[in-house]
Structure 1
Amino acid sequence: MRRDLQPATNGRQKPRRDDRGSESVELAILLPVGLLLVAMLVVGARIALAGDRMSGVAGIAARDASLARSAAAAQQIATDTAATALASQGLHCIDVQVSVDTAGFTAPPGTSASVTVVVSCTVNLSDIGGVAGLPGSRTLHDSATSPLDPARDLS
């Protein structure tokens, strides 16, 4: 009996089904799905790492801004401190925005007041190694409030 023929129930020979090549088709279908899952894992890890590095940057900036003598100086100090902290964390942002609420500087000495800093960092996702054309970016935020010294001297 030939290998490619198998007996039918009615006694006639019918061609045997050949499964050769099906692995190639399965691989061609599953490989893009696997690559997409790996790319999503890399993007998720990158966002989580950036969020971890971003944590605490606004706290450092708010603490330094609360030591300033004026609202303008607090704004400048907070911006510089946030940029330095992001650079020291190795976080490369394509856009950094630092917002400082300096309304507490208008409060008279002896009253409680605070300064609030909000830092926003946009992380580019299209430069992930080997994944060409991955679109998008992610904006991360961190905020913190630091009290002003109630015995501050504004002179």
Structure 2
Amino acid sequence: MSSLATMPKDSNDVSTQRNTSPSFSSWVDNLLENGMGTGFLSNFNAGMTLPAVNIKENAEEYFLEIAVPGMKKSDFNIDVDNKVLSISSESKEEKEVKEENYTRREFGYASFKRTFTLPDTVESDKISATYKEGILSVHLPKKEEAKEKPAKRISVS
């Protein structure tokens, strides 16, 4: 790696020369400027991904839709504790093929955990979930007193 630097030959003349041994600080600066710093750090956890979540609300309830394709219903753990909804999954897969001259073992592991602080308006005893076509849907009904009421006209007497 080389860089160009301006070096004064005398007090009046400045020319461009090849700097064959950059200082450590300029090497680090170049490394960071070329994207290794922030690019490396932003991709550090690339092996761990959290599933995408859509949160919807209407007058009666909240809905969570979580994209988790390739899972089974039995892979999910859904818990409510102190107004915190936790959704997690852990799956392990192991394959072993034994042939006459070799043995091949493959394994995989995937897990995630998402937590959501529930508002006071959620009826936590009535939370339900379904899993269909790679989407985990969690239904969070609102308490009766929290549901929106239609507008009402009040007459003046």
Determine if the TM-score, normalized by the shorter chain, exceeds 0.5.
no
- Larger helix percent: 1
Indicate the structure with greater strand content. Answer: 2
TM-score, normalised by the number of residues in structure 1: 0.32
Structure with higher RCO (Cα < 8 A, 6+ apart): 1
